[in-house]
Amino acid sequence: MNKELWQGVYPALLTPFTAEDTLDLDLFEKNLLAQVEAGISGVIVAGSLGEASTLTIEEKYELVKAAKNILPAGMPVVLCIAEQSTAVAVSIAKGAETIGADGLMVLPPMRYKADDEETVAYFKTIADSTSLSIMIYNNPVDYKIEVTLDMFAELAKISNVHAIKESTRDVSNVTRIFNRFGDRFKVFCGVDTLIMEEVMLGCDGVVGGLVDAFPKETVAIFNLVKAGQYKEALSIYRWYLPLLELDIHPKLVQNIKLAAKQAGIGSEYVRAPRLVLKGEERESVLAIIDEAIAKQPVLSDYLNISADAVA
């Protein structure tokens, strides 16, 4: 995967299940095709939003292979690695390369709060085991390990570490990264509620959640901001924010699956220990989604903004 392919909107894909708790590959295809039509640039498979912790390794590989078969040739498919041991992470990285994944999004070690040296060694060992392009996922809010600028300085020495998913929720960290490293890394916004702000600050792309339900609006905001059409982007963003806030919640998976269902490109089925939303909680989330759908904005021809403006 060429470093330059790390740009644009990458959905952190949902993993659809059937009522029998198996992968629903038909619905997976339906959602993917909606994403492609909307103008996404690549996809992330089996991330946190994809319920990675409940998937078997074989299911993760099955999703990668299905995505490669469905998506247009050349569109990147990135597998998420979120593991407790370095050995398992390396094994998955090697397997992902064998089955045709284009890149990896790698989280710090799970469960054990590794220190800076251990975290860098973990990332380095995975990178050394594969030729695949790697995105480092920096999310200290949820995963309790921050990848600091000094740690990124060490990771910058690794040739196939190309991108950062910036999820510290500190928008100024985007500028710190560019000030320290210039264009060494491709920087992606990883927090739905900050997509407009961080793209305005220069992010190369977005790894999104609500894009799984509303792909056109997400890509439209990205393209319009990159083209400097801020007023039009802001109008969409203000409509979108109540939905985007469903992503920064412990039940983001259930929330976004319900949104995808209401949008006609998903289902509510989740894998235990998660349970589908019910009662007042479900009605509250549903009210946000249905109000947004009722007021869904009419989009301009955001896919045909000049290529130079969106690059």
- Kindly report, residue by residue over 134-145, the tens digit of the pLDDT: 999 999 999 999
- Reply yes or no on whether the pLDDT at 52 is more than 50: yes
Residues 249-290 pLDDT 10s = 999 999 999 999 999 999 999 999 999 999 999 999 999 999
Residues 154-169 pLDDT 10s = 999 999 999 999 999 9
pLDDT mean over 54-66 = 98
Going from the N-terminus, what domains does the chain have, and what CATH number goes with each?
3-310 (3.20.20.70)
Task: State the pLDDT at residue 307.
Answer: 45
Query: pTM here?
Result: 0.96
Task: State the pLDDT at residue 306.
Answer: 61
CB of 72 within 8 A of CB of 33?
no
Residues 233-249 pLDDT 10s = 999 999 999 999 999 99
Average pLDDT, the chain: 96
Task: State the pLDDT at residue 309.
Answer: 53
